[in-house]
Structure 1
Amino acid sequence: MHTLPPGFRIDEYEIVRVLGAGGFGITYLAFDHNLDGPVAIKEYFPADIAVRTDDARVAAAAGRSDVFAWGLDRFLREARAIHRLRHPSIVRVHRYVERHGTAYIVMEYVEGESLASILESRGQLPANEWGPWLDRLLDGLAHVHNHDYLHRDIKPANIVIRAADGEPVLIDFGAARVASQQRTHTQVLTPGYAPFEQHTSEGAQGPPTDIYALAAVSCHVLTGEPPPNAPDRMLEDGHEPLAERVAGAGVRWLKAIDDGLELRSEDRPQTVTAWRAALNETGLQPLDAAEIEKLREAASRDDPQALAQLRAEARAGNPEAQFVLGEMCHEDDMYVDHDEAVKWYRKAADLGHPGALFRLGEQRDEKEDSAAALAWYHRAAVHGHVEAQFKIGSLYREGIPPDEEAAEEWLHKAALQGHVGAEFILGTILAAGYNGLAVDGYDAVRWLRKAADHGHAGARFTLGQMYSHGKFVPRDLVVAHMWFTLAENAAARAAKLEIEPYMTSAEIDQADRRAGAYPGASPEE
């Protein structure tokens, strides 16, 4: 595969690296020099009918000009239409560009971990963990279908769990097309996730096509492997019903997923709305987090009925109830029982509860078992648990095991979610360039400012030092004095006394006024 090299420019976009490649095209990570941020770019490069020339142009292979031109026209028409999609569970398309004999779709770059990567490391996920993500993806898929489009390539690699909030995002619409177009002459598919109609150029495709793919993803998530390839199933169906293979989930819910895996398109749910109705038809639903918290508050007031209901909910397999019981046994004076806390934490952790996974990591950390703590923290961090991400970054910084690049990566994940300690440490790492990491003054100041805005005294003191010495910022004693005043600690007070002889009374008064008007919260260490 002849990919574009790092540094290659397409207008304001500079190629950084390849994110993925398939038969339909190549996806790159690029840097947008106009907006000063990352983007993903999908290049139209159908490998079986295209070649790249020495000057980076894309041309049709010999005898394939008509097919190449037809596909390029489709690619552009669909890019224009997909641009209208706006949903938190759908990657956003910014624009399309025609250059170098081909076309490029410029998309939002979703920072996070792909579902494929998660499954590679964990094998499979419990139903209660996958269920909420599936529901979010159904929201997004319904939005796509409501705009008369199909995705046509739903698979674990095209689902990213966004680092900022732990929510799933459907990416890579390079294979999408108009749903009302009943026939297609392009074969875009991934074996195991593509229904039978995608394996033939004459197959009628519609919403049931995407439903099959998302049901196949669900099968993979819940069992550790996708269903057999659709043409193989037509000869001899080796797919075993999920209800016979998956524990900890409602039989009707699992049956609804199997309904989405029916081989004949007309036998599947015909719309996302219909499929969701079948998935939600599971009898009594477990209590949600808000209801569990009300029970906890009542139980803490010595309400035996609330405690009994909480225990019943936990025994029924509600991970939030199990976690809350663990918290009560861990920290509530009325119920303290550390062995009982661990029992409930482990039950909730087995069902993927991030808070329980984090607590088990903390317990190993307290016993100075850093390797075990790191393993628990990693499992919690996968679900976006910000404190776990911070702990992982801290452990790597402490050298358990030593890995400064990994420390920066995990602290960055936590900082993106607003963790003030991660913002501060990330700023100091980027300012100092520890252990060979590149110094980045711009980002160092940016993260320190975020931590300072969140009330971190250390960040405010560090910014004061930067402005007093002119490090990464213009030297400005008024601003330095303001930050030292806001830090309100002994070191900052001493630093103020050092710079005040070099300031006029008017400048000191100005700095004090700016500090008094600063909207930040009270300092936190």
Structure 2
Amino acid sequence: MTSPRPPHSTNSPPALHRIDRFYIVREIGRGGLGVVHLARDPVIDRNVAIKTLSPRLSAVEKKQAETRFVNEARAVGGLAHPNIVTIYDANIESDPAYLIMEYLEGSELSRMLDSGRIFPPSEIASIVRKLADALAYAHRQGVIHRDIKPGNVFILAGNQPKIFDFGIAQVLNRVSSTAGLPDGPTLEDDTTTSLHDNLAGTPNYMSPEQAAGRPVNNLTDIYSLGAVMYEMLAHRRPFQYDTTEEVLDAIANRTPPAPHQLNKAIAPVLSQIAMKAMSKQPQERYQSGEEMALDLGRYLALHKRVRSKVSAARSEEDDDLPALPTRLPQFALAGLLAAAAGAAYFWLRMKGLA
């Protein structure tokens, strides 16, 4: 079989720089264990992301990283969801070993938050709702991510999120073999750590049971998603401490202030969704991604109705009272928001959130 000819696209990379049939365009990401490049698949004529092991790894680190590669390929290979990254292929026997994934254009949520990006509440609800739906799907397939954090969420155009990096995921009843990865959790760059199979993840987003090294199930992902939502709402992490030990102790023993107490622009109803997801006791959290997505959907529906009524009120006032173009609509807005708040509070009482 002859080798495929280089692609004819003007974006084609040099023919001499390739991995198997994939022509490397440029590096687009780098971490402690791996490097990600934009590449071109000449057979299907599409851009892909190719993830390879870092050439600087020791023999022991390389073996551990290969284990994560296999785990990620098995975890994601059977998933098909619009908010989960797609893995097309994997080759652990190749040198270098690689994963072929869909190429995503956008930014990691962590980079956006670190740069000071502030999302409107409705956008936060929409993004987290899609992530909750994606986790619900993964959990139904027997996959627990175990490392949900802003650094593992990619935001595409139109605020479409994608979950990626399933390297320490649990698949069905098989616990991923991640023992011996780089020692010691760090708070400096939210590096994923694995001290043993149960204590794997990123300290700032670990559930209490995960931080304690106890066995976890799908509810650990619910907690972590709540922590991500909290950070988006409050513009800070739930627990702000300098050391890993302090963070882990706070996760186990302290309750952070609700996001709406830190950010007055946030409605209590939205704030309490994040807090419920982050309940210390797993049985007090949302019991599935579907449940969390449902409450976020109710919030978005309520928000849409309020906006529609406000818009209608403004339009009516503009038609009837052209000499008073702003004052009365402000009163109308206040009344509608008060009514919405009352409806939201009643809903929360019914849901046991208030």
Mapped contact 1:17–1:28 kept (Cα < 8 A): yes
Alignment of 1:402-417 (within 5 A): none
| Inter-CA distance 38–287: structure 2 relative to 1 (3 Å threshold) | same
- 1:44 is displaced (CA, Å) by 4.2
Question: Larger relative contact order (C-alpha < 8 A, sep ≥ 6)?
Answer: 2
Tell me the residue number matched to 1:240: 257
- 1:324 is displaced (CA, Å) by 5.8
The one of 163, 185, 201 aligned to 1:189: 201
Tell me the residue number matched to 2:23: 14
| Inter-CA distance 262–27: structure 2 relative to 1 (3 Å threshold) | farther
In terms of fraction of residues, the more helix-rich structure is: 1
Mapped contact 1:123–1:224 kept (Cα < 8 A): no
The one of 241, 266, 286 aligned to 2:302: 286
Tell me the residue number matched to 2:233: 222
Alignment of 1:52-451 (within 5 A): 52=56, 60-61=58-59, 64=60, 68-69=62-63, 72-73=66-67, 75-163=69-157, 165-181=158-174, 185-186=178-179, 187=194, 188-199=200-211, 202-228=213-239, 230-234=247-251, 237=254, 239-265=256-282, 267-276=284-293, 286=302, 288=304, 318-322=306-310, 328=315, 340=326
Mapped contact 1:25–1:174 kept (Cα < 8 A): no
- 1:217 is displaced (CA, Å) by 0.9
Task: Please tell me whether residue 33 in structure 1 is matched to residue 42 in structure 2.
Answer: yes
Query: Aligned partner of 2:261: which letter?
Result: E
- Residue deviations 1:291-325, cap 9 Å, x none? x6xxxxxxxxxxxxxxxxxxxxxxxxx34544566
| Inter-CA distance 172–271: structure 2 relative to 1 (3 Å threshold) | same
| Inter-CA distance 232–77: structure 2 relative to 1 (3 Å threshold) | closer
Q: What is the RMSD of the two structures over their aligned residues, measured on CA atoms? A: 3.8
Tell me the residue number matched to 2:345: none
The whole-number CA distance in structure 2 between the counterparts of 1:43 and 1:337 is: 66
The whole-number CA distance in structure 1 between the counterparts of 2:94 and 2:52 is: 11
Secondary structure of 2:24's partner?
Answer: strand
- Residue deviations 1:448-490, cap 9 Å, x none? xxxxxxxxxxxxxxxxxxxxxxxxxxxxxxxxxxxxxxxxxxx
Secondary structure of 2:92's partner?
Answer: strand
In terms of fraction of residues, the more strand-rich structure is: 2
| Structure 2: unaligned runs, 5 residues or longer | 1-12, 180-193, 195-199, 334-354
- 1:223 is displaced (CA, Å) by 0.7
The whole-number CA distance in structure 1 between the counterparts of 2:124 and 2:173 is: 30
Secondary structure of 1:192's partner?
Answer: helix
Q: TM-score, normalised by structure 2?
A: 0.67
- 1:180 is displaced (CA, Å) by 3.1
Greater CA drift, 83-92 or 8-17: 8-17
The whole-number CA distance in structure 1 between the counterparts of 2:292 and 2:319 is: 46
Secondary structure of 2:78's partner?
Answer: coil
| Inter-CA distance 178–24: structure 2 relative to 1 (3 Å threshold) | farther
Tell me the residue number matched to 1:477: none
Secondary structure of 2:302's partner?
Answer: coil
Query: Aligned partner of 1:180: which letter?
Result: N
Mapped contact 2:40–2:47 kept (Cα < 8 A): yes
Secondary structure of 1:141's partner?
Answer: helix
Query: Aligned partner of 2:73: which letter?
Result: A
Secondary structure of 2:162's partner?
Answer: strand
Secondary structure of 1:218's partner?
Answer: helix
Matched pairs, number: 293
Alignment of 1:440-519 (within 5 A): none
The whole-number CA distance in structure 1 between the counterparts of 2:214 and 2:288 is: 18
Choose 1 or 2 for highest CA Rg. Answer: 1
| Inter-CA distance 275–337: structure 2 relative to 1 (3 Å threshold) | same
| Structure 1: unaligned runs, 5 residues or longer | 46-50, 53-58, 293-317, 348-525
Mapped contact 1:197–1:203 kept (Cα < 8 A): yes
Percent of paired sites with the same residue: 29
The whole-number CA distance in structure 2 between the counterparts of 1:235 and 1:176 is: 22
The whole-number CA distance in structure 2 between the counterparts of 1:168 and 1:325 is: 34
